[in-house]
Amino acid sequence: MRRLHLNAFFPFGPIYVWDELERPEQYYEFDGFAQLARTAERGLFTGVFLGDSQRLREHLGRITDTAVTGRPDQLVLFSYLAALTEKIGFVATLNTTFNDPIDLARRLATVHTLSHGRAGWNVVTTDNAWTGENFRRGNYLDHTHRYEHALAHLRTVQAYWDEELGSASHPVLFQAGESDEGRDFAARHAEAIFSRYLDYDQASAFAADLTARLGRVGRPRSDLAIFPGAKITLGDTRAEAEEKAAEFERRTWTDRRIRAVLESVWSRDLSAYDVDGPLPDVGPADPEQTVTHGVVNSRDQPLRTVGAWRTLAAERGYTIRGLVAHLSRTAQFVGTPGEVADRLAHYVRTGAIDGLNLVPNAVPTGFDEVVERLVPELQDRGIYPAEYAGSTLRDNLGLPAPVAHRIPTEARS
């Protein structure tokens, strides 16, 4: 039977409302994470999922304070959370481009062992130049080579795990990366994939694409769980839920954060511009520079990005605020618990998704409503369990033995 998995996902971006906006430092307090993880476990979430960033981000030449920057090390945090929980899994995003494979394998094996089988690895290649700069290597591998390198890296990690953990008990492999090479990599090697597609038609098309790729290497669709990122905002009525969602957005996107999104591309101080007015009439300070200091994808050149944003703003009549709202929109389900459960049941039953990497609206209370109000509705619809299936992440994802040991290497190489 198809079911929905929920992962608690903290992407550490400027998309949060803290309980007390004045005290963002509580974000670094491990008690907040502990509270979120415990709530998630009470709600039978499959895992806690974290994104990767190996460098503090800069803003106009200084460490940015407009987004939460100093992330805790994922595996250190997971070691702490593993001691406070019993069943929930821990998926760390770690890139194959800059990490040493043996170091990575050993650290993941440690969390896996001390959590009694609850670790997962989201394999990413990382295309952002700021990480490359941090390692003094620039954006040092071109796209195709990044995936070749990823495979060699993965093979080394798996060989280490075979020795250290045994071939039946590897951490679960997630993957994130959506090019042809990225999707093929997932179809051959991953057991779950983090996707960007939550819109129903896009999610279905993505699932169909992966099903075809899986088929080509002899794997069924059930071998690869699809997890788009999402938020959920609930209310007693649809209108109340929509108003709540809008309020979260308003509180999260302060004028300063909005301006910072533009400044990361313009590379100049834009404080003279009203965020409720039109886009700046000046061009980017350094049009040739590859973006290395902001959150914009490193393949974009500032001039091209500015051009695209001007076109979008002109077509839709956006102010700066409107443009940033458009760019930063996190796909979300908004409605009464019953409405959201019905929509999710449709996604799951038709195979469009298998889970959500769920971003809390608020820290540390952001999953309370989902656990208390949505989970029972999902259970009523038969798409959510009444208890954990087992005690390892692999058990709870319903995955068989590690893919590395089920599919002939020839078929996957």
- Using CB under 6 A as the criterion, which residues of the chain lie in contact with ligand FMN when the complex forms? 51-52, 93, 95, 124-127, 176-179, 181-182, 194-196
Token digits of residue 15: 């998309």
| Separation between Cα atoms, residue 294 and residue 357, nearest integer Å | 24
Question: Which residue, 43 or 182, is less far from ligand FMN as judged by CB?
Answer: 182
Residue with smallest beta-carbon separation from ligand FMN: 182
Give the nearest distance from C-beta 193 to ligand FMN in angstroms: 8
Give the nearest distance from C-beta 208 to ligand FMN in angstroms: 18
Per the document, the length of the chain is 413
Q: Which residue has the tokens 């608690």?
A: 8
Give the nearest distance from C-beta 223 to ligand FMN in angstroms: 19
Question: Which residue, 17 or 94, is less far from ligand FMN as judged by CB?
Answer: 94
Give the nearest distance from C-beta 196 to ligand FMN in angstroms: 5
Question: Which residue, 52 or 263, is less far from ligand FMN as judged by CB?
Answer: 52
Q: Which amino acid is at 239?
A: A
Give the nearest distance from C-beta 94 to ligand FMN in angstroms: 9
Question: Which residue, 85 or 95, is less far from ligand FMN as judged by CB?
Answer: 95
Token digits of residue 366: 């952001």
Kindly report each contact of residues 136-141 with a partner whose C-beta sits within 8 Å and lies 24 or more positions away, as own/partner. 137/98, 139/290, 139/298, 140/97, 141/97
Query: Could you write out the DSSP letters of every residue in 45-95?
Result: -SEEEE----SPPEETTEE-SSS---PPPHHHHHHHHHHH-SS-EEEEEEE
Say which DSSP state 139 is in: S
Give the nearest distance from C-beta 112 to ligand FMN in angstroms: 20
The percent helix, strand, coil of the chain (3-state, each to 5) is: 45, 15, 40
| Separation between Cα atoms, residue 413 and residue 397, nearest integer Å | 25
Give the nearest distance from C-beta 69 to ligand FMN in angstroms: 14
Question: Which residue, 196 or 346, is less far from ligand FMN as judged by CB?
Answer: 196
Question: Which residue, 97 or 267, is less far from ligand FMN as judged by CB?
Answer: 97
CA atoms within 13 A on the CB side of 235: 15
| Separation between Cα atoms, residue 387 and residue 376, nearest integer Å | 12
Question: Residue 233: beta bridge partners?
Answer: 334
Question: Which residue, 46 or 195, is less far from ligand FMN as judged by CB?
Answer: 195
Q: Which of 156, 207, 216 lies closest to 184 in space, CA to CA?
A: 216
